[in-house]
Amino acid sequence: MTRRRLAVVALLGAVAAGCGTVFNLPANRPITAESPRLDAADSAVISGDVAVALSFSGGGTRAAAFAHGVLTALDRMPGKGGRSNLDRVVFVSGVSGGSVAAAYFGLKGRDALTDFREKFLERNAEESLDTQISVANLVRGLEGGVNDSTRLPAWLDRQLFHGATIADLYRPNRPLVWINASDLYNRTPFHFSPSTFTALCSDITTYPLSHAVAASAAVPVAFAPIVLESFPNSCEAPLPSWVNRVLKSSTAGSQVRAFAQALTRYRDPGQLRYVKLADGGLVDNFGLTGIVITREIVDKPYAPLTPERAVKLRRVLFVVVNAGRGPSGDWGRKLEGPSGRELFGAVTDTAIDAAASSSFDAFRLTMSQWEAATRKWRCGLSAAEAQKLGAGPGWRCADVTFDIAEIAFSQLGDRAAILNAVPTRLKLERDEVDLVVNAGIEATMAHPVVRQSLGVR
C-alpha cells in the first residue's frame, strides 16, 4: 500500500473515531385522550360530478416545478360554470420533491400558485445543507447521513410552512393530502396519515409538516433518516380489524400484507421502537401504493368514496405527474463506461423506476376494478335508493368512469431530452424552472384524457 493510501486510511480512521452514528431525534408525540381526531371525510368536499386526484412524483425541485406547471394548467383550463378546475381536486399524493408541491397546495389551495415559484422553485434549498465533498462528509454519510433534521426541515418551515402541522392539511374544503416516505426497516411505504400515526399511538395533529416533507425527500446518505417513535403504551385502541384479516388471508396481496406486518411491529416494542424514514421514491416514486392498499382493505365496493359521492360522480380523473428521468449519457453507445458516478446513478434509477413501474401497474388494475365494482353497485340500487343518495333526473347507473392520465416529459417530443438533463437537485437556475413549469403546463393542457374528463374542447 502506498504512503498516500496509508495517509487516507489513517485520516478516515481518525475522523471516524471522533464521530458517532449520525441520527435524528423523534419529533412526534404520544397520543393522549385530548388529542384531536382527524377525519378525511371532514375536509375534502366533492362538488359536482367530476373529481380530480393527483400524484406528484419525486425528482427534487424539478419534480416540484413540473407539478406546479400541472396545477397551473388545471387552473387555466376552463372549468364548469367558470370555476377553477383546482376546485375539483379532492386528493393529492406527493413523493420527495413532489411532496413539497403537494403539501403547499394542500395548505394554501389555489393561492399556492401565486408565490410557490418565489418561495421555493427559485430558491436554493441546498443553502441549508452541507453538500461539500470532503472526508468528514464521507464519514458522516457512512455513519448515517451527512445532513440531520436540523437543516432541511427548518429551511422548509421558514420558507413555506411557518409552523404548520399535519392537522393544517385537514381544514374544511381542502383536498386530502398524503405525504409519502419509505419505512426503511419494514421496506414499505409510509403515509403521513391518521391511520398510520394511530398505529404508532402517536398524535399526528402536532407533527410538523416540514418534517413530513423532509422525510419524503430524505435521500439516503445525503440525509440521515427522519425518526418517529412508537408509543404502544399510550393507547389502548387495537389495530384495525383488517390487519388481522390480511395477515390470516392466503390471498392478500404482497403490498398490503407487508403494510399490515409493519403496523403490527409498530405496536410491538420487542420488534420496533423507532421508525426510520427516507425518500419515498425508494419504494414508490409515484405515491400510488397507498391507493392500492386502501382499496384492498375496504369492505364496500365504492370505498373509500362515500355512497353519496359514489352515486353523484360521473367521472374520476387521476392525474399521475411523472417527473422521472429517462435514460441519459452516451455510455450505451460505446464499449467503455459507465463511470463510477454514472453507474451509481444508473443503479439508483433502475431500482426506483422498477418499483414505480410495478406500483403503476398495480394502480391501473386497482382503478379498473374499482370502476367496475362501483358501477355494479350503482346498478344494483333501486330508483328510490339512488334518489335518496342524491341521484338527479336522468341519472344513469352505468355512467361512471375512472380515468388515468400520465403527464410526463415524453409527451413533449424532442424537448424530453432537454428536460431529462435538468438536474434532480434541490436548486435550479431560473431558466430551468421556466422550462420545467412550462412543460407541465403544455403537457397537461394538451393531454386528451385530461381534456375529455374535464369537458374541455
Catalytic residues: 96, 279
404 has which bridge partners? 318
Q: CA nearest 31: which of 240, 221, 198?
A: 198
Four-residue CA torsion sign, 140, 144, 145, 151: negative
Burial of 168 by CB count in 10 Å (0-12 exposed, 13-18 middle, 19+ buried)?
A: middle
Q: Are 156 and 210 in contact (CB under 8 A)?
A: yes
Q: Supply angle C-alpha 409, 456, 398, rounded to 5.
A: 100
How far, in Å, CA of 91 to CA of 85, rounded? 13
| DSSP string for residues in 281-333 | GGT-TTS-HHHHHHHHH-SSSSTTS-HHHHHH-SEEEEEEEE------SSGGG
Long-range contacts of 72-78 (CB under 8 A, 24+ apart): 72/113, 72/437, 72/440, 72/441, 73/440, 73/441, 73/442, 73/443, 73/444, 73/445, 74/444, 74/454, 75/110, 75/113, 76/441, 76/445, 77/444, 77/445, 77/450, 77/451, 77/454, 77/456, 78/456
For residue 234, the 8-state DSSP code is G
How far, in Å, CA of 264 to CA of 262, rounded? 5
Four-residue CA torsion sign, 323, 427, 204, 235: positive
Q: How many residues does the chain have?
A: 457
Q: Which stretch of DSSP H or E encloses residue 81?
A: none
3-class secondary-structure state, position 423 = coil
